[in-house]
Amino acid sequence: MKYIFLTFLLLGFFQATFAQTDSLKTNINDEGFEIIENYIQNNDIEGNFENNDIFEALEIFQRNPINLNKASYDQLEELQLLDASQISALIDYRIRQGKLISLYELQVIPGFDLTTIKEILPFVKVIGGLDDTQVPIGRMLSKGKNEIMARWVRVLEERKGFSPLTEGEEGSRYLGDPNKLFFRYKHFYENRMTYGFTAEKDAGEEFFKGSNKQGFDFYSAHFFLKDYSKRIKSLALGDYAVSFGQGLILFNGFARGKGAEVMSIRRSARPLRAYSSVGEALFMRGAGVTLGLNDNLDLTLFGSYRNRDANLLETVDVGGDVIIDEDIAIQFSSIQESGLHRTVNEIADENALRQTSLGGSLRYKKDNFHIAVNALYNRFDKELLRAPQPYNRFFFNGDRLLNLSADYSYIYRNFNFFGETAISDNGGLATLNGLLIGLDRKVNFSILQRHFEPQYQNLDARAFGETSSTNNETGVYLGFQINPNRNWVFQAYYDMWKHPYLRFRVDAPSVGHEYLLKITYKQKRKMETYAQFRFERKQQNAPDPEAPIDYLIERDLIRLRLHLTYHVNKVITLKSRAEFSYLNDNFNPNSRGYLVYQDLIYKPKGIPFSLNTRYALYDTDNFDTRIFAYENSLLNEFINPSYYNQGSRFYLNFRYTGVRNLSLELRYARTFWERPETIGTGLEEINGDVRSEIKAQVKYKF
């Protein structure tokens, strides 16, 4: 009964009377709220979201807003809050009408509705004056700002991996303590130069002993220079990210997928970017540079050499422990990207492989057109040999791989054509082409076609698609957005695809489709509410052990979400949500699930602290009907847990800023499951029905 009561309580907020607040300032965590949820849900990622470079970039732009009167196309694209048509319209307006006098003038530019203007307000400015002069590197190094951040995380209950082996028990245990530690130092000069280093130790990893005598398990350092002169567009040393085209051969940045942002399907990122995240996979280590050969032609070159975690195939057994003999091992079966080195076996995989990556891009751009040719060469010091399975027949095996591609973008009036075509050195082909159309100020339309042959091989691709592998897929995506007035927004997409060859747990060619409908109603400075319906149909192997061969069944998944953000006053904001899931696979009994939660965000004026909290109830029949829900957390941390089975979850974040340039934060989170004897699996198993976690963070700027 308590679940039903809370559901009606939450839905009752939709009939509330709303008070007014005059704050238009966008919080970066709120800015990524739906973007992260959609991204993680599409990619089945649970827990902490490590690849947060887009949000760190927004934080820099918030401190150093872009001047809309001088920003280039590439600088506006780097903001990632404007699509190509909006950027082109802004630049065209500057050419025809001259510099903007006020930010409110954006309302007369085609494509800039009030929602878009509100989203970009914290990150842009409008000023006149002379163009920026070249600033000496010495001044950037000595006159910039500095930031130190330290974080501690610990699960309070004892997990199996930290308990001693009982008499007669076999297995492994974590070698380190249960504390997770993070430290970062960063220096930046406006948004033009940054350097710093990052260090992290995961729970269970050793610290200043054993395999980590150097202290932390992961270290990362970077130096990045941007727009130094007309000739030096970017310079990256140490760790950095690289992205080319639409991601068919290489994309290290944050890549949006299918979601309500139907006009954001086009990949857009600066070829080189600084890297200071703690993800241990999606980056390069070495040097890269983008040179402006002339006003229209840019050349990007990079080289990277780094160690990778991998499962080696040649091992010896010593006293029950698996030991890698690197003098014997000449092959590996897979690359490990978790970055976890807690047990003997995980440590055996650490830095077992050396990878060399070389690449470049030659890009020609003039007015509203660009075309680029891109190349990426990867080489390993050992040979990749996957376990032979029918579904991975066309996957890459070997020690070297070459990918080539060409990408383009052309804007004609309200039409933005874009795409990329790539080839791997075995002859496999992949192509992706799209069109963004601004039919008028109130209607936008998007189309995207992709065709990735099963034979196409890649290691670093992250293109738009149903799966993340960027091969064995052909599909068409259609999206539209209607803004009939300043209060209403209608968004929808339909995507259909087929996989011409087998996939993991899909032992025949398969097809699928999905669609999403979202209706949003906004009252300026008061509230925002939306209803979202999502349907997905996929094919998978039937769970029938008595069948002589696997056959495919259709799996229908339905999700319905009702959400309300309500500004009680200038200090208090409430967020309420009810979400439901329903699964029918035409084989097992139908399964259902729901989640309801209530958020309270408290930001008093003139008092140096703020807090936000959530209480959630959930009940799902199984893991397949799990529901994702993004959580506010510490600054620069993004959490998206999945809720499944039955229970409740509570968290409280507290932030204190009473000391100049110093921010102190605490977070406590507790999840309760009803009637289980244990929580989690493997070495993460907890005896009992509660899992609680505490975090502390300090951030100091000087």
CATH code at position 118: 1.10.150
Question: Is 250 inside a domain boundary?
Answer: no
Distances (CA, A) of 197 to 183, 223, 238, 545, 567: 8, 9, 10, 52, 39
Question: Is 21 inside a domain boundary?
Answer: no
Question: Is 92 inside a domain boundary?
Answer: yes
pLDDT reported for residue 95: 81
What is the spatial distance between Cα 502 and Cα 520, in angstroms, rounded to a whole number? 39
Q: What angle do CA 82, 84, 86 make, to 5 degrees?
A: 60
pLDDT reported for residue 22: 30
pLDDT reported for residue 133: 62
pLDDT reported for residue 521: 94
Question: Is 691 inside a domain boundary?
Answer: no
How many domains would you assign to the chain?
Answer: 1
Question: Is 123 inside a domain boundary?
Answer: yes
Question: Is 90 inside a domain boundary?
Answer: yes
Question: Is 118 inside a domain boundary?
Answer: yes
Q: How many helices (H) and strands (E) does the chain have?
A: 9, 36
pLDDT reported for residue 62: 78
Report the chain's C-alpha Rg in angstroms: 26
pLDDT reported for residue 580: 97
Q: Residue 156 corresponds to which tokens in the numbers above?
A: 């309070």
Question: Is 433 inside a domain boundary?
Answer: no
Range of the domain at 112: 50-133
pLDDT reported for residue 203: 95
For 367-412, give the secondary structure using H, E and C: CCEEEEEEEEEEEEEEEECCCCCHHHCCCCCEEEEEEEEEEEEEEE
At 615, the amino acid letter reads Y
Task: Give pLDDT < 50 ranges for the chain.
Answer: 1-32, 130-131, 316-325
Distance of CA 11 to the CA centre of its chain: 30
